[in-house]
Amino acid sequence: MAVPSPRALAMLRAILRAPNTSTALLFARAIYSEQPQRLTATQARNFSILNRPPPNYPGHVPLTSIERGALAIGSAFTSLIDPYRHDMIAACGEATAQPFFIASLKKRMLSDATGRRILRDRPRITSKTMPLEMLRRLPENSVGRTYAAWLDREGVTPDTRDAVRYVDDEEEAYVMQRYRECHDFYHALTGLPVFVEGEIGLKAFEFANTGLPMTGLSLFAMLRLKPAERRRMFRTYLPWALKNGWRARDVINVYWEEELETDVDVLRERLGIEAPPDLREVRRREREDRRRARELKESLGNA
């Protein structure tokens, strides 16, 4: 196969990045991204810690295979010790997604009409593109208002997601960024909170739905749960997550920006997702039951 000239590659890049890219060109972009982005044999031989190739996009950090493996192991270990180290969770997700899993997720987007539009438009979810003041004014039980209410309740914002750095292919890096920025919509859709138990339940759902290794590795955090929390996870939330994540449509292909006024129950039904039991309410009821049992025991002891 003939190798295109640098000038031809530059022209092709300009065409493929045009804002009005057609569906046919999106498939061309997918084919192109698998070829010229690869290192030449000479570059591969010379690629080392002291001799890196140029980045493929702003912020990109090319890694050797040894560095990628070390990053995957180190970030996974650190995330298990401290599940609130979001930078390590992000690094683990990127280091373990290549070369197969993030490419597979991109292909699933390319096979879906809405997914192709997302790849063409490349929307970003930030506090500027999703102003909370606007979302709070949307109809009751709409996706946008439910999302805003979840953000307010959990004390987070759309700007808390780290930028992708370690995914080599530029388009696959966007797919990872899109997954990352949509994560809070998955929280809002399922109602699962941000504390460890809720995050494990959502990661199990994401693993069944996206197949990204980091989401599966996150299940090891169940070792940190208290016995009662672990029993609740195995009895209720893990079965729910695997069942719904497996059978639901690909959530990566939801164009959230176009669904803000959709009723959240309608969207769940369209995607094939059942809402799990409200975890905060379940925990509250269990605390009340323990308190009443303790008070009853004390009253019997004083009788």
Residues annotated in a binding site for Zn(2+)? 183-184, 187, 199
Nearest alpha carbon to residue 218 among 102, 89, 36: 89
* CA–CA separation, 205 and 108 (whole Å): 17
Structure tokens at 50: 């002291």
If one counts every other C-beta atom within 10 angstroms of the C-beta of residue 26, the result is 18
Q: Which residues contact 173 (CB under 8 A, 6 or more apart)?
A: 56, 57, 60, 164, 167
Q: How far apart are CA 107 and CA 109, in angstroms?
A: 5
Q: Tell me the torsion sign for CA atoms 254, 257, 258, 260.
A: positive
Q: Identify any residues that bridge with 48 across adjacent strands, giving them in sequence order.
A: 51
- Cα distance between residue 211 and residue 205, in whole Å: 10
User: What DSSP designation does 263 have?
Assistant: B
Instruction: Show binding-site residues.
Output: 183-184, 187, 199
Q: Which amino acid is at 67?
A: E
Q: How far is CA 264 from CA 42, 176, 184, in A?
A: 53, 24, 14
Orientation angle between helical segments 113-121 and 101-110, nearest 10 degrees: 110
Q: Tell me which DSSP letter residue 164 carries.
A: P
48 class by beta-carbon count within 10 Å (0-12 exposed, 13-18 middle, 19+ buried): exposed
3-state secondary structure of 48: strand
In order of 122, 131, 145, 157, 177, the CA distances from 126 in angstroms are: 13, 8, 15, 8, 12
